[in-house]
Amino acid sequence: MRWLDVPLRLGYLMDGVPPAGSRIRLTVSTQVGDKEFEGTLVPPAGVDLLTLKLANGYNLSHSIADVREVVLIEEGLQGEEPPDVDFREDSSLPEVLLIHTGGTIASKVDYSTGAVTARFEPSEILSTVPELLNIARIRVLKLGNMWSDDVRPRHWNAMVNATKDAFDQGYEGVVVTHGTDTLHLSAAAMSYAWSGKGGRAPGRIVFTGSQRSPDRGSSDAYENLIAAVSWAANGPDTTGYRDTSVVVMHEDGSDGRCAILPGCSCRKAHSSKRGAFIAVNQEPLAYISIDSKGPLIEDLRGDSVPRGVEKDPVLFNETTRMHEFVAGPYLTGEMVRASLESSPDALVIRGTGLGHLPIHDPLGDSPENTLLAEVLASAVKTGIPIVITAETVQGEVNMDVYSKGRDQQAMGLFGHGSLCPPGSAMVKLHHLLSRGLDSAAIEEAWHMDLVGENPPDSRS
C-alpha cells in the first residue's frame, strides 16, 4: 500500500493516513539524493513534519515537502496496551518515595505510537518494572520534568526539602530520578546539605538515571531503577560519611551489575556508554547484582562510626553567585577583572596538572600572565575566596611541588591537598558560603573531609 502527499498538520494524523504506531518505509529527498528509512510512525516533532522512530530507538523527522513515498508495512496497534499487572502491595515491605525531576528513566513506551512518554503514577511505573513490587511499596512525587543541564541550586533545595518531608513521614528511603548530565552535582548537593555539618540523613537517598531510553533494547533504565530502589529500601544504614547520597548506575556496558557510588565524589565520565559514571579518588561503596533470584547487595564500605541524625539540612543560598574559570592559554586578567566587576561571592579556577595557573612570564613576552597574577592577588585582599581545583579530575591538587604552586599559595589562593572533584568542589563552596562563613573560615573548612570528598586514605 502506498500513499503520497502526507496530510500532517498541527501535530496529528488525518485523512486515512495509517495510524501512529504503524510500521512504514519512507523515501525522502535529501541533498545527496533520495534516501529510504524504515521505522514506526509516531506523532510529529513539529508542524509539517513526518517523524519515524527507527530501530535504534532514535527519532527521525523530515519535512512533508520532502516525502517521495511511504509504504505501509504493518498497521498500528491502535492503542493496545500490555497486559495489566497485579498491583497489590505487600504491607510488610518498606515504603520508598520516588522523586522525579526529569530524564528518561521514569518513562516507558506508548504502545500505540512507539514514542517514549513520561510516567509518574505508581501503577504506570510498576507496569514497566513489576519487579519493584517485590522490593518496596512505591510512592511518587513529581518535582518537574527537566533537562538536567537546566537544574539550578533552587532545584537542589526542592529536592532536599522533598527528602526531608519524606523522612518526616516515615519513608525508609528516597530515590531521585534525574537526567544524567548533572546528576552528580545534585547528588553532591544532597550530601553537603544533609552531612556538611557532621550529621547524616534519617534515611537512604539514591540518585539514578539512564543513558538509554526505556524503549531501546539496550536500555539501562530497568536495572538502574531496580538497584536504586533496592538500596533505598533494603540497603545498609547510612553513616553520613560518603554514603549520605549515592549514585546508582550500571557498572559497565554489561547488564546484571550496578555500582553504588559516593554522591559527594563521582561524575559522568562518558557521554553515551551505559557504564558512564565513576567514583573519583576513591572506590565504589558497593555493588548490586541483579539476576533471576533478585537484587543482591555487596557492601564494600568498611567500618565507619555513624554520625548523629541531622534533622534540618542546610539549604543553598539561592542568591549566591560563583564564577568558574579554566586555566589555559586563554585565561587572562581582563577576563577575571570583568568577572569581579559583577561582585561574585567566590571564584573557582580549574588549574592544569597539579593545580597551576598561567601567572608567570619567563620569556618576558606574555604580560597578560603578570596581569592575571596581579588581579587575583588583589581580589584575595578584598576577601573574595578563590579556590583552585584540578582539571585532571583524578588526583589531588598539590601546590607544594613547584615554585608556581607555592607562589599561588602566597597570593592567598587555596585548594592545596584537595581530592574533591571539580563539580563537587563547586557545590562544596556554595554550601560553605550558604553557612555564612568568611574567606578564612572557608579556607579552613576546605581542607576538612566534610562528607567523604577528601578521603585521607586516597592521598598519594
CATH of the domain at 102: 3.40.50.1170
pLDDT, tens only, 137-155 = 999 998 988 889 999 999 9
Q: Are residues 357 and 447 in the same domain?
A: yes
Residue in 180, 182, 238, 389 annotated catalytic: 180
Q: Are residues 279 and 167 in the same domain?
A: yes
Residue 332 placed within a domain? yes
Asked if 336 and 347 touch (Cβ cutoff 8 Å), the reply is: yes
Overall number of domains in the chain: 3
Does 27 participate in catalysis according to the annotation?
Answer: no
Residue 84 placed within a domain? no
pLDDT, tens only, 11-63 = 333 344 567 677 888 888 888 888 898 888 776 656 677 777 776 555 677 88
Choose between 364 and 215: higher pLDDT: 364
**Percent of the chain topping pLDDT 70:** 83
Domain that holds residue 60: 2-74
Residue in 53, 164, 268, 428 annotated catalytic: 268
Residue 149 placed within a domain? yes
Does 197 participate in catalysis according to the annotation?
Answer: no
Does 268 participate in catalysis according to the annotation?
Answer: yes
Strand partners, 118: 107
Residue 203 placed within a domain? yes
Residue 68 DSSP symbol: E
Q: Are residues 195 and 267 in the same domain?
A: yes
Contacts of 254 (CB under 8 A, 6+ apart): none
Residue 85 placed within a domain? no
Q: Are residues 255 and 107 in the same domain?
A: yes
CATH number at residue 59: 2.30.30.520
On the question of pLDDT at 5 being above 60, the answer is: no
Q: Are residues 100 and 230 in the same domain?
A: yes
Does 428 participate in catalysis according to the annotation?
Answer: no
Residue 309 placed within a domain? no
Q: Are residues 141 and 289 in the same domain?
A: yes
- 306-325 average pLDDT score: 97
Residue 305 placed within a domain? no
Choose between 414 and 215: higher pLDDT: 414
Q: Are residues 407 and 333 in the same domain?
A: yes
Q: Are residues 101 and 185 in the same domain?
A: yes
Helix, strand, coil in percent for the chain, rounding step 5: 25, 30, 45
Q: Specify the DSSP element, H or E, that contains 289.
A: strand 286-291
- 268-280 average pLDDT score: 91
Residue 115 placed within a domain? yes
Asked if 207 and 277 touch (Cβ cutoff 8 Å), the reply is: no
- 251-279 average pLDDT score: 92
Q: Are residues 111 and 222 in the same domain?
A: yes
Q: What is the pLDDT of residue 273?
A: 86
